């Protein structure tokens, strides 16, 4: 048995399909708000995030929002445009953020992520 992720909070982002009452009294489907695991923090790294990293995170974000891993031919132009726009917005955000913290080391962060993943996917009770 795998360890379960913590319950979603009102501040999180992944679909649970749970119904929430609206002002009209009808239920609407809501997303629980766990960040997509493939979207990585890109701010405050040495060396800074590359355009490929920003694009990959933007692609994952658009996939999550649209619900399409691979959009249809009819939706491909809108999907591609969204990835470009999200990439541009992400780059502007990363470039405009400031911090007094020392830049994070990619190798140390990768080792932490690997250890966390190993714990998350280790079978319980064995």
pLDDT digits 0-9 by tens, 45-98: 988 999 999 999 999 999 999 999 999 999 999 999 999 999 999 999 999 999
Mean pLDDT across 33-46: 73
What separation in angstroms does the CA of 30 have from each of 10, 19, 48, 96, 105? 10, 6, 35, 32, 36
Inform me whether the pLDDT recorded for 23 exceeds 90.
Answer: no
**How distant is the alpha carbon of residue 73 from its chain centre?**
25
Tell me how crowded residue 54 is: count the other CB atoms within 10 A of its CB.
20
User: Distance from CA of residue 86 to its chain's centroid?
Assistant: 13
pLDDT at 29 over 90: no
Is residue 4 within 8 A of residue 120, CB to CB? The reply is no
CB atoms < 10 A from the CB of 124, how many? 8
**pLDDT over 70 for what percent of the chain?**
69
End-to-end CA distance of the chain: 9
**How large is the average pLDDT for residues 27-42?**
57
Rounded Cα distance, 90 and 79, in Å: 16
Q: Is the pLDDT of residue 123 over 50?
A: yes
pLDDT tier, 110 (very low <50, low <70, confident <90, very high otherwise) = confident
Helix (H/G/I), strand (E/B), else coil: 84: helix
pLDDT at 102: 93
Q: For all residues of the chain together, what is the average pLDDT?
A: 78
Q: Where are the beta strands (DSSP E) in 77-125?
A: 104-105
CB 32 within 8 A of CB 16: yes
Q: Judge whether residue 15 has pLDDT over 70.
A: no
């Amino acid at each position: 048995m795998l360890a379960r992720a913590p319950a979603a909070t009102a501040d999180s982002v992944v679909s649970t399909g749970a119904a929430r009452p609206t002002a009209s009294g009808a239920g609407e489907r809501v997303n629980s708000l766990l960040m997509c695991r493939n979207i990585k923090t890109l701010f405050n790294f040495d060396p800074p995030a590359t355009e490929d990293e920003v694009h990959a995170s933007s692609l994952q974000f658009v996939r999550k929002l649209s619900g399409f891993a691979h959009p249809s031919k009819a939706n491909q132009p809108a999907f591609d445009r969204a990835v470009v726009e999200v990439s541009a917005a992400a780059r502007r955000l990363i470039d405009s953020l400031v911090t007094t913290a020392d830049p994070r080391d990619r190798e140390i962060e990768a080792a932490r992520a690997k250890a966390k993943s190993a714990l998350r996917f280790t079978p319980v009770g064995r």
